[in-house]
Amino acid sequence: MSFSPQSKVWIYQSDREFTNPEMAAIRQQLDDFTSQWKAHGHQLQAKAEILYNYFIVFIVDEATAGATGCSIDASVRIVKGFEQEFNVDLFNRFNMAYKVGDKLVVVNKEDFETLISIKKITPESIVFNNLVQTFADFETKWEVPFKDSWHNKVFADLL
């Protein structure tokens, strides 16, 4: 399935890595959900996936039908269900994700600040911008060096 660059994207980041059984269960529920996801009776061209064992990403191509408040609420409900079923936090925007080599690490805002101040996170460290809203931005601005991210503006005084 291909998506236009203007497709809408929603990213939910877990506070811990999903286990393989959890990912299998979540994938099944996501596939079931997206195959029946509708907005005002119109089927949405959508997909949802798990990336890096931490991120649940929804993509909706609004060329055929646009996501509405009710359809977005339905996606939020399924994510809240994952929180309860698997005892994870998927809505805490103060959890920061970054890479160390090929490994992904998620820490709270205070620990992230400390890691910057002690130079464990550098301008070249890869961070994740979960605020991207379009597929084009997701492909080019989601996984970026710290120096090119919104994190740099917020935490610049720590470098």
DSSP string, 74-119: HHHHHHHHHHHHHT-----TTEEEEEETTEEEEEEHHHHHHHHHTT
Helix (H) or strand (E) holding 125: none
More confident of the two residues 104 and 44: 104
pLDDT above 70: residue 32: yes
Q: What is the mean pLDDT of residues 74-95?
A: 95
Does 40 score more than 80 pLDDT? no
Instruction: Indicate the CATH number of 8-86 among 3.40.50, 1.10.760, 1.25.40, 3.30.70.
Output: 3.30.70
In the structure, what pLDDT confidence band is assigned to residue 1 with cuts at 50, 70 and 90? Answer: low
DSSP-assigned letter for residue 44: P
First to last CA, the chain: 41
Sign of CA dihedral 159, 91, 35, 30: positive
CB 59 within 8 A of CB 7: yes
Tell how strand 38-39 and strand 42-43 pair up: antiparallel
How distant, in Å, are the alpha carbons of 43, 59, 78, 81, 133 from that of 139? Answer: 24, 12, 24, 27, 11
pLDDT, residue 70, reads 76
Q: Which residues pair with 61 in a beta bridge?
A: 45
11: which strand partners? 57
- Per the model's pLDDT, the better-predicted residue between 45 and 79 turns out to be 79
Mean pLDDT, rounded, for 7-11: 95
* Rounded to 5°, angle at Cα 29 from 138 and 13: 40
Residues of the chain with CATH 3.30.70: 8-86
